[in-house]
Structure 1
Amino acid sequence: MSRGYLDKEPCQAYTISSSGGETKVAAVTINQPFNILVVDDEVNIRKTLSMFLETEGHRVIAVSNFEDAIAEASRRSFELAFVDLRLGAESGLDLIPALLAVSHWLKIIVVTAYASIDTAVEAIRRGATDYIPKPFTPAQVKLAMQKVFELRTLEQKVTTLQEDLGRLHPEIDFSSTSNTMQRAVSLARQVAPSDATILLRGESGTGKSVLARAIHRWSNRAAKPMSIVSCPSFLSDLLESELFGHIKGAFTGAIRDNPGRIAACEGGTLLLDEIGDLPLSLQPKLLRFVQDREYERVGDYTTRKADVRLITATNVDLEKAVREGRFREDLFYRLNVIQIEIPPLRDRPDDVAILAEKLLVFYGRNNHRSFHGFTREALEALKLYRWPGNVRELSNIIERAAIISQADRVGAESLPPSLVPGDANAHIGDPITLGKIEEQHIRRVLATAKSLQEAADILGIDQATLWRRRKKYGI
């Protein structure tokens, strides 16, 4: 069986240098194949250029005229187009802005047998990236493609940096003493190189989006864009436009075309956060995209295709939502190919101290402070707390402590009162009630026990009694 494009070795681009009249070509690896559109009215040029590009590992669509070029660009995403300046009675110069109107991120290399300074300047002015004359050599094509590759790589880095500005977070590693967390991270690493759809489950604040970003970094799509869309952040109509895009005039306020998040992360990864809040009206459209990778922009009937890896995340019971008719069963099964459950922070108390120390270093650096950790009382209070907001809440509390602490070792006085009640560190013999002593003892045992059964065994009571005590004390 012949090898497919994705089974080939990484694509090679080349740079050219001359020495003593000899032209040398140096290879530079392009790790991702391009989707390339070839537009030329000469059948031999189309076939020869297409065969050469396919041999290099790229995916190629070749057409002969203006109309077919626009139709193909409307149906799928291309990174690069080779456009002949003379297309029968039509001008390739006119095709340049028309293609860019369909695909804003497309890079266009103009090729022509009628090369001149004026046409080169005009092609660049209309939006072309580069310009090569006919007849061209393989080395010229490879050099032009290398320039495009370097430009796209730089643009993607800038886009990623812009998305991260204003929401800078501490770098979280995934080291954990919890077997459950270790299994979750191990599974994430294992499935990252595949294109399988992943469903991340866990309470709010457990780090689902952080793990999704890590999966993207560990995948073969790491060089491509990643985008995150929070489903509850948009009204139904606006969410559809945000995901799939819209054309100018599709609705009031649509003053220009919007390609949408799916098109914007072509070849990369899309995270749909809080997928349980996806409106029912949008669920059939997402189902179609998951199944066929096809969609239409709002106000446009042109069917488009996209190569995007989908990750979804939720903190709700999707099975219950299916039973109640709030979530489509077929969509649930399509999204639930690989399920990764992230445990809440209260189920891994030993991780609290590890995370707190890392966060304190990060926020200390941000506030031009140097800390030497936490006092024993502060660490004990952090471990005893139940963390309903999980890692996000812990991060916020450590940031607060790094700002208000007056000492180089953060003490319990720098933590919120809710974490350190007045009698939290009481001892036997102190003038407090037996109930307070019992509450504190139960909290400490729960913080160190690996399960509720182990905690009940340590306390010498059954799980039902422990449940009643937890309810009584709000643990």
Structure 2
Amino acid sequence: MTAEKTGGRVLVVDDEAPLLKTFRYCLEDDGHTVATAASGEQAMALIRSRVFDVCLLDLTLGDTTALELLPAIRTAAPWLRVVIVTAHSSVDTAVQAMRAGAVDYLVKPCSPEQLRIAAATQLHARRLDLRLEELERQTGSSNDSAQLESRSPAMAELLDTARQVAASDANILVLGESGTGKGVIARAIHRWSARHAAPFITINSPGLSGELFESELFGHKKGAFTGAVANSPGRVAQADGGTLFLDEIGEVPIGLQAKLLRFLQDKQFESLGDPVTRQADVRLVAATNRDLHGMVKTGTFREDLLYRLDVIRLHLPPLRDRIEDLPAFANGFLDEFIRIHRGRGRGFSEAAMDALCRHRWPGNIRELRNVIERASILCRGELIEPRDLALGEAGGAAAASTAARPTGAMSLAALEREHILAVLGEAETLEVAAKQLGIDASTLYRKRKQYGI
């Protein structure tokens, strides 16, 4: 089993060799991965090629000072939390350094406990930043826990397998129709793994051009392309030590698949506009609703990349094949939307639940969530009835156009979100959904991000 990754990645910069050794041993004993540099030049070379969470930076080095080095550090790694290490006589200068971007300072000589607390405090702050970013990006439901329990024998077996393989660092390919909960499984695998204390980072492939996808994945240097006004670390660097979830892997442009393959093989990459080769320790979980083997035959997906991704395969069954789980999902979604929308509905009539269980659910759990949200807003009594469910011959999308009429209680933005949700629940792919909505895939991607879909 992989060792639990609880420590952070710390860079210690000081021109005194004995202090470097002492700091390194102390921090490694506390579970951190530590690199050292004896000069500003060595420090910048490491910062440009590797990802660190915390930097302990001596105020005065042989070739430079912290005040001179900080702007370069901020440009190369804006997320890096820098702690100035200084003598008593230089505290005023250390405060200047904090104004220039450092987050704290240590006065040396410091005790091992002071050093450990300083590193742990900044690592905790770094993880909180990453968690906040992930929560802002996260489009999944708060009802995830219900999706990780199942009365369906096939789904229960899949969940057992997912728990088992989570302990390894093997790449995992999650297959299944749109809306079956592939992202939920990916997040669960991360939580069950030894990497659970490190970041879980998601990148959505649809709607991104080749250059934008490469920038999103590997980062870019300021000026690398029009609109690149600052350095960006990219999702791979953000996920270092943790898990990277590549959603809709079948949408990755063919021209970038070789670079992705190289990263999976060597854990090395280059940011756009930057020749420096970087490294990242990332566990990959990929997902798709497309037939990758068929895409290999048509030349739109690399066979060698497929083999590299398809180490462990998890195939999620559609909702219609695990209908015994639907009542728990429906009640969980309703509880969620009662809190959000404060609608009238507090439960389902027997006829409504029967209608839900008889529906074919082409959009799977995502469509169910959409239907329950709409019903929680539009129902006329304390129990949701079949008339509130908007389940037509063609599913929720067609009925939604008649059920969700503009009212004083719904804004134009809310109606647009409802319509996009309905179409997404019916469409087989995001491209089909975009076409039905009359917009391009990149616009649909932005709308999904805007509305948290």
Q: TM-score, normalised by structure 1?
A: 0.78
Q: Spell out the pairing of 1:195-274 with structure 2 (5 A cutoff).
A: 195-274=169-248
Q: In structure 1, what is the equivalent of residue 339 of structure 2? A: 365
Q: In structure 2, what is the equivalent of residue 43 of structure 1? A: 17
**Structure 1 runs of 4+ with >4 Å offset:** 166-169
Q: In structure 2, what is the equivalent of residue 341 of structure 1? A: 315
Q: How far did residue 420 of structure 1 move?
A: 10
1:97/1:114 Cα in 2 relative to 1: closer, same or farther (>3 Å)? farther
Q: Distance in 1 between matches of 2:350 and 2:374?
A: 18
Q: How far did residue 283 of structure 1 move?
A: 0.4
Q: Distance in 1 between matches of 2:177 and 2:239?
A: 27
**What secondary structure does 1:38 align onto?**
strand
1:68/1:346 Cα in 2 relative to 1: closer, same or farther (>3 Å)? same
Q: How far did residue 131 of structure 1 move?
A: 1.7
* Contact 2:261 2:305 (8 Å CA) reproduced: yes
Q: Quick one: which amino acid aligns to residue 143 of structure 2?
A: P
Q: Distance in 2 between matches of 1:235 and 1:315?
A: 20
1:376/1:141 Cα in 2 relative to 1: closer, same or farther (>3 Å)? closer
Q: Which residue of the other structure, out of 286, 291, 313, is the alignment partner of 1:312?
A: 286
Q: Spell out the pairing of 1:60-99 with structure 2 (5 A cutoff).
A: 60-99=34-73
Q: Quick one: which amino acid aligns to residue 60 of structure 1?
A: V
Q: Quick one: which amino acid aligns to residue 381 of structure 1?
A: A
Percent of residue pairs bearing the same amino acid type: 45
Q: How far did residue 172 of structure 1 move?
A: 4.2
* Contact 1:193 1:218 (8 Å CA) reproduced: yes
Q: Distance in 2 between matches of 1:100 and 1:34?
A: 19
Deviation track 1:304-355 (CA, whole Å, cap 9, x = no partner) reads 0112221100001111111222111111111111111100111122222332
Q: Which moved more, 1:322-331 or 1:372-381?
A: 372-381
- Runs (5+) with no aligned partner, structure 1: 1-5, 11-30, 422-475
Q: How far did residue 210 of structure 1 move?
A: 1.5
Q: Distance in 1 between matches of 2:303 and 2:68?
A: 48
Deviation track 1:67-103 (CA, whole Å, cap 9, x = no partner) reads 1110111111111222222221422321222222211
Q: In structure 1, what is the equivalent of residue 112 of structure 2? A: 138
* Contact 1:356 1:394 (8 Å CA) reproduced: yes
Q: Quick one: which amino acid aligns to residue 221 of structure 1?
A: R
**What secondary structure does 1:81 align onto?**
strand
Deviation track 1:435-471 (CA, whole Å, cap 9, x = no partner) reads xxxxxxxxxxxxxxxxxxxxxxxxxxxxxxxxxxxxx
* Contact 2:199 2:239 (8 Å CA) reproduced: yes
Q: Distance in 1 between matches of 2:394 and 2:214?
A: 45
Q: How far did residue 253 of structure 1 move?
A: 1.9
Q: Distance in 1 between matches of 2:204 and 2:129?
A: 24
Q: Spell out the pairing of 1:412-451 with structure 2 (5 A cutoff).
A: 412-418=386-392
Q: In structure 2, what is the equivalent of residue 170 of structure 1? A: 143
**What secondary structure does 2:48 align onto?**
helix
Q: How far did residue 296 of structure 1 move?
A: 0.3
Q: Quick one: which amino acid aligns to residue 55 of structure 1?
A: D
Q: How far did residue 113 of structure 1 move?
A: 3.5
**What secondary structure does 1:295 align onto?**
strand
**What secondary structure does 2:383 align onto?**
coil
**What secondary structure does 2:254 align onto?**
coil
Q: Distance in 2 between matches of 1:118 and 1:391?
A: 58
Q: In structure 2, what is the equivalent of residue 126 of structure 1? A: 100
Q: Which residue of the other structure, out of 385, 397, 412, is the alignment partner of 2:371?
A: 397
Q: Spell out the pairing of 1:279-358 with structure 2 (5 A cutoff).
A: 279-358=253-332
* Contact 1:109 1:131 (8 Å CA) reproduced: yes
Q: Which moved more, 1:338-347 or 1:359-368?
A: 359-368
1:420/1:135 Cα in 2 relative to 1: closer, same or farther (>3 Å)? closer
1:146/1:420 Cα in 2 relative to 1: closer, same or farther (>3 Å)? closer
* Contact 1:385 1:419 (8 Å CA) reproduced: no
Q: Distance in 1 between matches of 2:109 and 2:54?
A: 20
Q: Quick one: which amino acid aligns to residue 170 of structure 1?
A: N
Q: Distance in 2 between matches of 1:361 and 1:139?
A: 46
- Runs (5+) with no aligned partner, structure 2: 396-453
Deviation track 1:30-78 (CA, whole Å, cap 9, x = no partner) reads x721222121122222222223322333222212111111011111111
1:273/1:150 Cα in 2 relative to 1: closer, same or farther (>3 Å)? closer
Q: Quick one: which amino acid aligns to residue 386 of structure 1?
A: R
Q: In structure 1, what is the equivalent of residue 413 of structure 2? A: none
Q: In structure 2, what is the equivalent of residue 189 of structure 1? A: 163
Q: Distance in 2 between matches of 1:315 and 1:157?
A: 27
Q: Quick one: which amino acid aligns to residue 28 of structure 2?
A: E
Q: In structure 2, what is the equivalent of residue 441 of structure 1? A: none
Task: Give the number of the structure with larger relative contact order, counting CA–CA contacts within 8 Å between residues 6 or more apart.
Answer: 2
The count of aligned residue pairs is 394
Deviation track 1:135-166 (CA, whole Å, cap 9, x = no partner) reads 222122123223213322432343334334x8
Q: Distance in 1 between matches of 2:170 and 2:316?
A: 18
Q: Quick one: which amino acid aligns to residue 99 of structure 1?
A: I
Q: Distance in 2 between matches of 1:318 and 1:417?
A: 32
Deviation track 1:379-405 (CA, whole Å, cap 9, x = no partner) reads 222222211111111111111211221
Q: Quick one: which amino acid aligns to residue 280 of structure 1?
A: I
* Contact 2:244 2:284 (8 Å CA) reproduced: yes
Q: Quick one: which amino acid aligns to residue 283 of structure 1?
A: Q
Q: TM-score, normalised by structure 2?
A: 0.81
Q: Which moved more, 1:261-270 or 1:112-121?
A: 112-121
Higher Cα Rg, which structure? 1
1:386/1:376 Cα in 2 relative to 1: closer, same or farther (>3 Å)? same
